[in-house]
């Protein structure tokens, strides 16, 4: 079932038909425009090269009707058929998308099929080539996920695959939060919020004092609903405590799970009683 982007969902989230929110990082309109420009340039060069080769190999005089038929066949091949085959065979990638680090996927996160690529290529003739990209840019700026008209009709979106590396923050529990850390209830933070906190703690020493304080207060307000009780400490200390507590508890949970799996390994790998050896 196709996914529907929700206006109240977190940034980059798509909600599938089963009411499951997918946290994806969609490619921006400007990034997609750069990729489309590369694809258009490659297509125009391929068309020009094909025409040049055809003229040199078969310099025959063609009547107007046959010439128009050949021209239409070349345009259909390079504007519709080739993009459809390339995106289908490469699971949503093209030359431009490889350059910008993006891939076209279905709204539910799965790989596109031939019908999705065909709809995108067919509509792209109108919104990219016939309008010089004007329709695609207008729809992309109006759509909250930067989807062009072809994506809306095909039920796809461009997913950015070159996600920035999240800095690993090795912060300990601040001294003033040592006692709080033993009894605090800190649930798992949403992935976008956790990334923002990790990036802030890694970059905090390099920020101006005013910006550092303002960002710490904003992130602390966003993280407060996931913490109980909220200690009366500086916002940056609270963020460091939250990260340290979650890291310790996640590591403990993973260790316990590994121990349980090792204990169950003889049972899981054993042959049922009376099962024949084949």
How does DSSP assign 52-87, residue by residue?
A: HHHHHH------HHHHHHHHHHHHHIIIIIHHHHHH
| Per-residue model confidence (pLDDT) at position 124 | 92
| Per-residue model confidence (pLDDT) at position 1 | 42
Question: Are 106 and 92 contacting, i.e. CB atoms less than 8 angstroms apart?
Answer: no
Dihedral angle sign, alpha carbons of residues 270, 275, 277, 278: negative
What's the average pLDDT block by block, 10 residues per block, for the chain (278 residues)? 43 50 73 91 92 72 72 90 93 89 86 92 92 90 88 89 61 81 87 88 86 92 90 89 87 87 79 70
Which tokens is 79 given?
């504007």
| Per-residue model confidence (pLDDT) at position 115 | 93
Write out pLDDT tens, residues 229-240.
Answer: 988 888 988 898
| Per-residue model confidence (pLDDT) at position 2 | 44
- For the chain, domain boundaries: 4-160, 175-269
| Per-residue model confidence (pLDDT) at position 164 | 60
Look up the pTM and report it.
0.56
| Per-residue model confidence (pLDDT) at position 8 | 38
| Per-residue model confidence (pLDDT) at position 219 | 93
Percentage with pLDDT > 90 across the chain:
27
| Per-residue model confidence (pLDDT) at position 162 | 73
């Amino acid at each position: 079932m196709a996914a529907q982007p929700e206006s109240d969902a977190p940034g980059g989230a798509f909600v599938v038909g089963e009411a499951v929110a997918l946290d994806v990082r969609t490619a921006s309109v400007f990034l997609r425009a750069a990729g489309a420009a590369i694809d258009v340039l490659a297509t125009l060069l391929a068309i020009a090269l094909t025409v040049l080769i055809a003229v040199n190999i078969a310099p025959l005089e063609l009547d107007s009707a046959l010439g128009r038929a050949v021209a239409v066949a070349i345009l259909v091949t390079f504007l519709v058929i080739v993009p459809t085959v390339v995106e289908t065979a490469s699971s949503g990638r093209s030359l431009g998308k490889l350059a910008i680090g993006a891939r076209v996927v279905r709204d539910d996160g799965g790989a596109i099929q031939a019908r999705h690529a065909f709809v995108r290529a067919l509509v792209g003739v109108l919104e990219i080539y016939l309008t010089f990209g004007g329709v695609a840019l207008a729809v992309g700026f109006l759509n909250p996920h930067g989807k062009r008209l072809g994506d809306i009709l095909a039920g796809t979106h461009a997913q950015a695959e070159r996600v920035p590396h999240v800095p690993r923050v090795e912060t300990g529990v601040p001294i003033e939060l040592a006692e709080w850390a033993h009894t605090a209830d800190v649930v798992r933070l949403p992935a976008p919020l956790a990334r923002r906190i990790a990036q802030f703690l890694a970059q905090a020493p390099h920020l101006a004092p005013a910006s550092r304080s303002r960002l710490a207060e904003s992130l602390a307000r966003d993280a407060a609903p996931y913490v109980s009780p909220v200690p009366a400490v500086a916002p940056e200390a609270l963020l460091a405590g939250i990260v340290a507590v979650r890291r310790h508890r996640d590591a403990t949970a993973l260790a316990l799970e590994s121990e349980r799996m090792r204990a169950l390994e003889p049972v899981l790998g054993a042959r049922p009683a009376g099962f024949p050896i084949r």
